[in-house]
Amino acid sequence: MIRVFAASLLLLTAATPAFALQDADYSAAVAATAKSDIIPAYQVLEQAAETLQGGLDALCKTPSDATLGEARKQFADFATTWARIQYISFGPVFEHQRAFRIEYWPDKRNIVGRQIADVLKKEDKAALEPEHFATTTVGVQGLPALDRLLFEDGALANVKPGGYRCSLFAAIGLNLKIIAHDVVAGWSEGDSSFLARIEHPSEDDQELPSGRDAAGRLLNDLLTALIAMRDMKLLTPLADTLEKAKPQASEFWRSGQSVAMLQANLQGLRALFGTDHGLGGLLTAQPDGKATADSMVASIDHASATLAQITLPLDKAVTDPAQRKQVEMLAEQLAKTRDLLAGPVATKLNLPIGFNALDGD
């Protein structure tokens, strides 16, 4: 993990807007986002996990170019579905390291590669039992492991029906489905669900004692998404010069999903900010707030349009002189969107900006 000061400390406290929002306003805004965007996104993720699990099973039953191609497509579908809510750090996805178990990335020390090699070498079937597998090292539990196994050279030749690699595929597929199911259940089931805690905040709730705390968590997660897209997903592989570019630092470069992940990140950001509901709707309802909300939406849309001009996979784009300029333009636009969110949006919503989910040693 990295420490990010530039954006997370742009605004430590937000000025009080002309119209004082009530705690119930914040609760209603975040609850609306949960109902219309967060919970449905996790439900789609659960469906995508089930489809992926079936595709991996079909590949192992009948290894062929067709079944490998279908499993790869299902991997991409699950990955981009995940990317829409990748940076939500509060709620059930934060418990039991679920987010890291879905995607441990960036992997600066090749931990995933080394852990996969170790698991394949030992061929311990007991380690793949669901309860055991859920507590094993995060490097083999999720998407980065599948990115390597499904897209490595000779991937099809390595698939043997009944073989250990297929057992590992089955363990990963089931693990992702269980995680997604548990996140959906944690958000929506029972009187103590995370949604219920947002709708009815309590001072005894150490994580979310008020609606304003929930809104602050959501705003900071949107900021985290912008920081991660720019600093980690773009600037790291881009590096300072073409000669120093690090194409293999791109997210899911093996499967060619780097650009698609960014597209889904922006789509998720746009939905989670909201317009007629959520933080965007709350902002629009404030005096002089609509212009700021419209500017935020326009800035996200501008970033999406800029991303559409990157026509090569990101690992290729950062080493292409012409495409590098587009990547740099996208990084600049994301910085503008970040500053807009951390400045005028946060100020008018009277929400503090603090350390984000990327902060660490």
Write out the DSSP string of 49-89: HHHHHHHHHHHHHS-SHHHHHHHHHHHHHHHHHHHTTTT--
pLDDT above 50 for 276 = yes
| Alpha-helical regions (H) of the chain | 23-33, 39-61, 65-83, 98-102, 111-122, 130-133, 143-151, 164-188, 194-199, 211-227, 236-238, 258-273, 278-284, 289-307, 314-317, 321-340, 346-349
pLDDT at 336: 98
DSSP string covering 200-263: S--TT-SS-SSHHHHHHHHHHHHHHHHHIIIIIIIIHHH-SSGGG--GGGSTTTTTT-HHHHHH
> What confidence score (pLDDT) does residue 20 get?
82
User: pLDDT exceeding 90 applies to what percent of the chain?
Assistant: 90
Q: What is the pLDDT of residue 339?
A: 98
pLDDT exceeds cutoff 70 at 5:
no
Identify the pLDDT of residue 354: 80
Q: 279-290, pLDDT tens digit by residue?
A: 999 999 998 899
What pTM, to 2 d.p., does this model score? Answer: 0.93
Residue 358 predicted with pLDDT over 60: no
Residue 287: the pLDDT is 87
Range name among 12-16, 122-126, 236-240 with the lowest pLDDT average: 12-16
Residue 154 has pLDDT above 60, yes or no: yes
Provide the mean pLDDT of the chain. Answer: 93
Q: Residue 12 class from Cβ within 10 Å (0-12 exposed, 13-18 middle, 19+ buried)? A: exposed
Tell me the residue length of the chain.
361
Residues 230-234: what's their mean pLDDT? Answer: 98
Judge whether residue 18 has pLDDT over 60. no
Residue 146 has pLDDT above 50, yes or no: yes
What does the pLDDT read at residue 356?
54
Min mean pLDDT across 11-20, 61-70, 129-138, 340-349 is at 11-20
Q: 34-199: which CATH number, 1.20.1420.20, 3.20.20.80, 3.40.47.10, 1.10.10.10?
A: 1.20.1420.20
Q: What is the pLDDT of residue 17?
A: 45
For 41-94, the pLDDT digits (tens) are 999 999 999 999 999 999 999 999 999 999 999 999 999 999 999 999 999 999
Is residue 359 very low, low, confident or very high in pLDDT (cuts 50, 70, 90)?
Answer: low
pLDDT score, position 19: 59
The domain segmentation of the chain, as residue ranges, is: 23-29+209-349, 34-199
pLDDT at 10 exceeding the cut of 50: no
How confident is the model over 21-39, as pLDDT tens digits? 999 999 999 999 999 999 9
CA 291 – CA 297 distance, rounded (Å)? 10
Q: What are 178-201's pLDDT values in tens digits? A: 999 999 999 999 889 999 999 999
Instruction: State residue 79's pLDDT score.
Output: 98
